[in-house]
Amino acid sequence: MEKIVKLISQRCNKITPASVEEYCKANGFNGLKKAFTMKPADIVAEIKKARLLGRGGAAYPAGAKWEHLLEIPEFPKYIVCNADEGEPGTFKDKLLLSQDPLGIIEGMTIAGYVFNSNDGYIYIRGEYAAIQRNFQEAINHAIARGYLGNNILDTGFSFHIHIVTGAGAYVCGENSALLNSIEGKAGRPRIKPPHLAEVGLFSLPTLVNNVESFANIPVIVQLGGEKYLSYGTKDSGGTKLVCLSGHVAKRGVYEVPFGVTLRDIIYDKEIGGGTTQGQKLKFFHLGGQSGPCGIPDQLDTIYCYKALRSAGLSVGSGAVVVMDESVCVVDYLKKVTEFFIHESCGKCTPCREGNWQLFKILCKFQEGLAVEEDFAVMKRLADAMTNASFCGLGQSAAVALTSCLKYFKDEFKAHSKKQCPAGHCFIDERGE
Amino acid sequence: MPNELDSSRILAIVEEKGKSKEHLLSILLAIQNASGKNYVQEEWAKIVAAELNLSLSMVYDVLTFYSMFSTKPRGRHVIEICKSTPCYISKSDVIAKIFEKHLGIKVGETTQDQQFTLQYTACVGACDIGPVAKIGEEIYGNLTEDKINSIIIKYQGE
State ipTM. Answer: 0.96
Instruction: Give me the helices (H) in A27-77, please.
Output: 30-35, 40-50, 62-70
Q: Give the residue from B25, B52, B57, B91 with the most A CB atoms within 10 Å of its CB, the best one to mutate.
A: B25
pLDDT value for B37: 96
Q: Say if residue A103's pLDDT is above 60.
A: yes
Q: What is the 3-state secondary structure (H, E, C) of A395-419?
A: HHCCHHHHHHHHHCHHHHHHHHCCC
Interface of B with A in 32-91 (CB under 8 A): 52, 54, 58, 61-62, 65-69, 83-86, 88-90
Contacts of B129 (CB under 8 A, 6+ apart): A251, B139, B141, B142
**Average per-residue pLDDT for chain A:** 97
Q: Say if residue A431's pLDDT is above 60.
A: no
Nearest CA in chain A to B70: A167
| Cis amide prior to A73 (ω within 30 degrees) | no
Q: How far apart are CA B122 and CA A339, in angstroms?
A: 7
Reported as a single tens digit per residue, the pLDDT across A284-296 is 999 999 999 999 9
Nearest to A295 by CA among A411, A135, A173: A411
At A38, the pLDDT band (50, 70, 90 cuts) reads very high
Is residue A139 within 8 Å of A162, Cβ to Cβ?
A: no
pLDDT value for A432: 44
Reported as a single tens digit per residue, the pLDDT across A41-66 is 999 999 999 999 999 999 999 999 99
Q: Say if residue A430's pLDDT is above 90.
A: no
Shortest alpha-carbon distance between residue A244 and chain B (Å): 7
* B86 CB neighbour count, 10 Å cutoff: 33
Q: How far apart are CA A108 and CA A220, in angstroms?
A: 13
Reported as a single tens digit per residue, the pLDDT across B66-88 is 999 999 999 999 999 999 999 99
Q: How far apart are CA A18 and CA A23, in angstroms?
A: 8
pLDDT value for A429: 61
User: Which residues does residue A163 pair with via DSSP β-bridges, in sequence order?
Assistant: A122
Is residue A336 within 8 Å of A294, Cβ to Cβ?
A: no
At B158, the pLDDT band (50, 70, 90 cuts) reads confident
- Residue contact A342–B67, C-beta within 8 A: yes
Q: Say if residue A198's pLDDT is above 50.
A: yes
Q: Say if residue B1's pLDDT is above 50.
A: no
DSSP A208: E
Whether pTM > 0.80 for this model: the answer is: yes
Q: A239-246 and A252-257: which strand pairing?
A: antiparallel
Is residue A89 within 8 Å of A319, Cβ to Cβ?
A: yes
pLDDT value for B157: 83
H or E stretch at A121: strand A119-124
Separation of CA B128 from chain center? 22
Size of interface A-B (CB pairs under 8 A): 134
> How wide is the angle at C-alpha A388 spanned by C-alphas A386 and A391, nearest 5°?
75
Nearest to A388 by CA among A341, A349, A344: A349
pLDDT value for A207: 98
End-to-end CA distance of chain B: 11
Nearest CA in chain B to A347: B65
Interface check for B96 against chain A (CB to CB < 8 A): the answer is: no
Contacts of A41 (CB under 8 A, 6+ apart): A70
Reported as a single tens digit per residue, the pLDDT across A361-402 is 999 999 999 999 999 999 999 999 999 999 999 999 999 999
Q: Give the residue from A251, A322, A425 with the most B CB atoms within 10 Å of its CB, the best one to mutate.
A: A251
- Residue contact A164–B134, C-beta within 8 A: no
